Amino acid sequence: MPLEIDTEKEFDLEDLQYDFEDSMETDRWDDAPAEIKELFHHLEWNIIDGEHTETTGFIEEALKATVTARTLIAGPMATGIAEVGRRFKMDEYFLPEVMMSAKCMHEALALLKPLIIAEKSEEVGTVVVGTVQGDLHDIGKKIVAMMMEAAGFTVHDLGVTVPPEKFIEAIREHKPQIVGFSALLTTTMNMQWETLKVIAAEGLREDLKVFVGGAPISQAWCDKIGADAYAMDALVAVEKAKACVTQHHNMKGGDPALHAAMLEIDRVREEAKSEQAKTEAEAATG
């Protein structure tokens, strides 16, 4: 019997059942000026509705209003595509609708990519990312790559269905501190493990911090295959990557202490989140 893996990743049903339309009425983009807020809502809904011929128009408009590429990606684009994911999970959306939203994302990201590179503040490190062999999913990995780029990393995106040899080649060529494997299918997630094994066999493991991500991926899977970090979204990926190259740069890849440090980031985040929820609840009742 091959691997026993938990392919049914847990998700928060409450979150999924949250009615997105209601959130239109809340101040999601609280600190933004009114016209920017409206623009963000338009962009978000453009992605949800999959009207990809109009996407670049909204992006251009936002950029004219001096919104940074980074804010757009982490803001309305991320919330828009997350809502598409929620609808897909709940059988409100099917593949045609999802493909249309994916087109919006691709068009927006193509426009934003050069800006992200230009927005890059400092040089913090080098990252190689790719979707593992056999898997054609692109968007999630692209977002991670661009958010890392914006955070100051030099990112080499190897694309989709990347065979282990291509990762090895890129690691030898670019000497990254971090390599990230994306996998969006239960049938391809095992390729993260296989790729990691090949990297170890080539003697490259110790010099690398290995990140894994994708819909079926979990912390348990990360632990099982011996990767250094699992990131549930692009922002966490950036945070952990930054920690790796700044605070934990002297730790070797595969080191349990490094792994613990990564988990600590999740814990701190969780704590902050529940702290915030508590404050909000208090404010609501009080």
Partner 1 sequence: MAAIVGRAIPPERKRTLDALSLREPDKVPIGLWGTVEGYQNLRAGLGMGYNKDFKNYRTGSTTWTTDVAFEVDLAEKLGVDFVRVSIGPAGGSPGFRELQMDEIPVPLQVPTPPDDAEINVDEWGVIRKWTPHENGGYYEMIGYPLFEATSAPLEEGLKILDEYPWPDPWDEAGWQDSPVPGMSLREYCRYVKEETPFALMGQGGRGGLFEQAKYMVGYAKIFSDFIESPEFLDAMLIKLTDLEIEYNKAFLDQCGEYVDWLRLSPEDLASEKTAFLSLDMFDKQLIPHYMRATQEIKKYYKTKNPEGKIQFHSCGAIPEPFMRGLISCGVDGYDSLPPKVARHSNPSAKKRQLGKEMFFYGGIDVQETLPWGTTDDVRKEVRQRIWEMGHGGGYLLSSSHRLEHDVPIENTLAMIEEAREYGTYPLPEQPPEGADTGEGYEPWDPNPRKKRRKPKPAAE
What is the binding site for partner 1 (CB under 8 A)? 1-2, 14, 17-19, 22, 50, 90-92, 94-100, 103, 136, 161, 283-284
CB nearer to partner 1: give 26 or 250. Answer: 26
Is residue 191 within a helix (H) or strand (E), and if so which, with residue range? Answer: helix 190-201
Question: In angstroms, what is the minimal distance from the CB of 106 to partner 1?
Answer: 11
Rounded least distance, CB 279 to partner 1, Å: 13
What residue spans of 3-54 are helical by DSSP H? 13-17, 20-23, 34-49
Helix (H) or strand (E) holding 155: strand 153-157
* Cβ at position 90, least distance to partner 1 in Å: 5
Which single residue is written with the structure tokens 């062999």?
133
Nearer to partner 1 by Cβ, of 11 and 18: the residue is 18
Which residue, 90 or 257, is less far from partner 1 as judged by CB?
Answer: 90
Query: Among residues 140, 13, 6, which one has the least CA distance to residue 73?
Result: 140
Least separation in angstroms between residue 97's CB and partner 1 is: 7
Q: Could you tell me which of 277, 272, 278 has the C-alpha nearest to residue 239?
A: 272
CA separation for the pair 206, 191 (Å, rounded): 20
CA distance 149 to 242: 11
- Closest to partner 1 by CB, 153 or 167: 167
In angstroms, give the least distance from the CB of 2 to partner 1. Answer: 7
Cβ nearer to partner 1, comparing 123 with 282: 282
Residue type, 47: I
